[in-house]
């Protein structure tokens, strides 16, 4: 990404000459104009030059932190924001940025804390409350998520993504009627928002209506045939209806198109077992572990299949690999308890 603020060795309270201040201001103006014109890399370069002349130029620090976040350079954005907060009192705008950085960096608790701090300091924007709701959804916290997105809807009742988030929050709260209403409202406002169809299908499967879920997902795929998340869920809906050939077709299509996730391989292997094809199930799990050698559930499931079909050496090799990955894993303890009485040995020889 080029230069970083960490290279500038900024010292808080450093004295700056009038000449340096003048140059800093000029570079800041150029950086601001480049940002307004969409030339973000050039804007960043000018802001770094500004801060070389005046390391405490707060408008440049604030703008640079936001710019680095926009460019996806989260470590640099976090570093710049930390320097900014060391030089000024936190305000809703800075705390909103802190929350966004944390949320993008897969730290939803830190994000939620920053968003709530921003609210305490007077932040009330739609964006603040919506991202606050997202952070609580990632944490699995339905009630605070619902409160946050309801604040969004109080300001903008037509915010379809907020209605979708409210449906997800109500599902977490086991308010299934409320969740259904929110998802339906989302699709009334924006019929092409297929993410809601995924969420609605998950709710319908949770309520034991896989056929209804299938209908919802087929609409999403009819409008967007490349939508892998909907096809993945469609496979789950078919499996829930014991339609395993169609489930296999969904997951194999996704894998062929590049959606080679561990979950897809595990579900595919289970579908092959339901189709009484253990050889294909073992081949699927072997492929999973070739791609994801540290996937402990895959090792355990393949170990059990090997042991069931007389491949004791291979089975115990995968159990040993699972032990090496996480010897205290509860799933591993459960498997060991289940297989040891049946095999009557802790480890067969390679000649067995």
- Report DSSP letters for 294-343, one per residue: T-HHHHHHHHHHHHHTT-HHHHHHHHHHHHHH-TT-HHHHHHHHHHHHHH
Residue 170 pLDDT greater than 50, yes or no = yes
pLDDT digits (tens, 9 = 90+) for 214-239: 999 999 999 999 999 999 999 999 99
Angle at 67 between CA 78 and CA 137, to 5 degrees: 60
Q: What is the CATH number of domain 260-352?
A: 1.25.40.10
Q: How far is residue 141's CA from residue 181's CA, in Å, rounded to a whole number? A: 20
pLDDT at 16 over 90: no
SS3 content of the chain, % helix, strand, coil (to 5): 75, 0, 25
pLDDT band of residue 10 (cuts 50, 70, 90) is very low
Percentage of the chain modeled with pLDDT above 90: 85
Split at pLDDT 50, 70, 90, the class of 347 is low
Mean pLDDT, rounded, of the chain: 91
How far is it, in rounded angstroms, from Cα 29 to Cα 167? Answer: 44
CB-neighbour burial class of residue 192 (10 A; exposed 0-12, middle 13-18, buried 19+): exposed
Q: Which of 11-25, 36-50, 54-68, 289-303 has the lowest mean pLDDT?
A: 11-25
Label residue 19 by pLDDT band (50, 70, 90): confident
Identify whether the C-beta of residue 286 lies closer than 8 Å to the C-beta of residue 267: no
* Mean pLDDT, range 32-53, rounded to an integer: 94
Query: For the CA atoms of 144, 145, 150, 152, what is the dihedral angle to 10 degrees?
Result: 120
pTM: 0.84
Does 352 score more than 70 pLDDT? no
Q: What is the pLDDT of residues 105-121, one digit of tens each?
A: 999 999 999 999 999 99
How many percent of the chain have pLDDT more than 70? 92
Q: What is the DSSP letter of 88?
A: S
- Residue 345 DSSP label: S
pLDDT for 15 beyond 70: no
Compute the chain's Rg from CA coordinates: 27
With 0-12 CB in 10 A as exposed, 13-18 as middle and 19+ as buried, what is 91? middle
Number of Cα atoms under 13 Å in the Cβ half of residue 127: 7
Q: Is the pLDDT of residue 8 over 90?
A: no
Alpha carbon separation from 15 to 8, 28, 49, 54, 56 (Å, rounded): 15, 18, 17, 8, 9
* Cβ-Cβ contacts under 8 Å for 322 (sequence gap 6 or more): 296, 299, 300, 303, 329, 332, 335
Residue that the structure tokens 């409008």 belong to = 223
First-to-last alpha carbon distance for the chain, in angstroms, is 56
At residue 257, the 3 state secondary structure works out as coil
């Amino acid at each position: 990404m080029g230069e970083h603020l960490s290279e500038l060795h900024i010292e808080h309270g450093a004295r700056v000459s009038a000449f340096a201040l003048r140059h800093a201001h000029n570079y800041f103006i150029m950086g601001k104009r480049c940002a307004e014109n969409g030339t973000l890399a050039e804007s960043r370069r000018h802001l770094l030059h500004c801060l070389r002349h005046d390391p405490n130029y707060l408008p440049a620090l604030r703008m640079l932190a936001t710019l680095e976040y926009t460019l996806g350079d989260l470590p640099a954005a976090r570093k710049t924001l930390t320097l900014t907060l060391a030089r000024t009192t936190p305000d809703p705008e800075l705390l909103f940025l802190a929350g966004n950085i944390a949320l993008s960096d897969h730290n939803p608790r830190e994000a939620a804390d920053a968003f709530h701090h921003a609210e305490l300091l007077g932040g009330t924007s739609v964006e603040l409350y919506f991202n606050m709701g997202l952070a609580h959804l990632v944490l699995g916290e339905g009630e605070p998520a619902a409160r946050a997105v309801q604040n969004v809807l109080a300001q903008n009742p037509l915010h379809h993504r907020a209605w979708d988030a409210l449906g997800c929050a109500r599902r977490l709260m086991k308010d299934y009627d409320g969740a259904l209403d929110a998802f339906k409202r989302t699709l009334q406002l924006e019929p092409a928002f297929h993410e809601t169809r995924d969420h609605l299908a998950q709710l319908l499967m949770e309520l034991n209506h896989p056929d209804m879920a299938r209908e919802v997902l087929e609409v999403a795929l009819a409008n967007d045939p490349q939508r892998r998340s909907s096809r993945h869920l469609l496979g789950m809906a078919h499996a829930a209806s014991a339609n395993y050939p169609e489930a296999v077709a969904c997951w194999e299509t996704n894998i062929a198109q590049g959606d080679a996730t561990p979950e897809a391989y595990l579900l595919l292997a289970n579908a092959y077992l339901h189709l009484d094809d253990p050889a294909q199930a073992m081949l699927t799990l072997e492929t999973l572990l070739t791609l994801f050698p540290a996937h402990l559930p895959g090792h355990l499931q393949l170990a059990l299949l090997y042991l069931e079909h007389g491949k004791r050496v291979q089975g115990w090799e995968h159990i040993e690999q699972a032990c090496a990955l996480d010897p205290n894993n509860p799933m591993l303890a459960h498997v060991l308890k289940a297989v040891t009485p049946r095999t009557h040995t802790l480890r067969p020889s390679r000649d067995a």
